[in-house]
Amino acid sequence: MTQTRTIFDRILEGEIPCHRVYEDEHVLAFLDIGPLSEGHTLVIPKERKAFLHELSDESAAAIGRVLPRLARAVIQATGATAYNILQNNGAEAHQAVFHVHFHIIPKRGERGLGVGWRPGSLDGAAGKELAARIAAAIS
């Protein structure tokens, strides 16, 4: 369990109400109370971990199975034709609630997620070496 109790723990425990859109044994999805756009939905595992890399394979697979279905439902319900899926890990990556969560954020005109993207470059030799290190770290 996450060290510090979060608002999502309180929602999972029924202490704080939410507008549920989906629930199963491993996953809860509900509307964000501070939406960036209509239909902004949060998807959380019931397993209480702060970071994605801490999740069990079972919880991660459960989220992976339901995310496309929830995205289709949000798009159908809102009429949006574009959306972002956002998931942050760590304060430096803008994580505010330290319980794994995914945002499904419909993009409609100016409403939705705004993203700044400052791409760098990848040297061929450095990329080959980095890819080998990452591949070797996969367990």
Q: Identify the domain containing residue 31 by its residue range.
A: 7-115
Tens of pLDDT, residue by residue over 84-127, are: 999 999 999 999 999 999 999 999 988 999 888 888 999 999 99
How many CA atoms does the CB half-sphere of 131 hold within 13 Å? Answer: 7
Q: Among the options 26, 40, 99, 101, which is catalytic?
A: 101
What CATH number does the domain containing 99 carry? 3.30.428.10
Tens of pLDDT, residue by residue over 39-65, are: 999 999 999 999 999 999 999 999 999
Give me the number of domains the chain comprises.
Answer: 1
Flag whether 125 is in a domain. no
Flag whether 134 is in a domain. no
Flag whether 137 is in a domain. no
Nearest to 98 by CA among 108, 109, 112, 88: 88
Active site residue 94: no
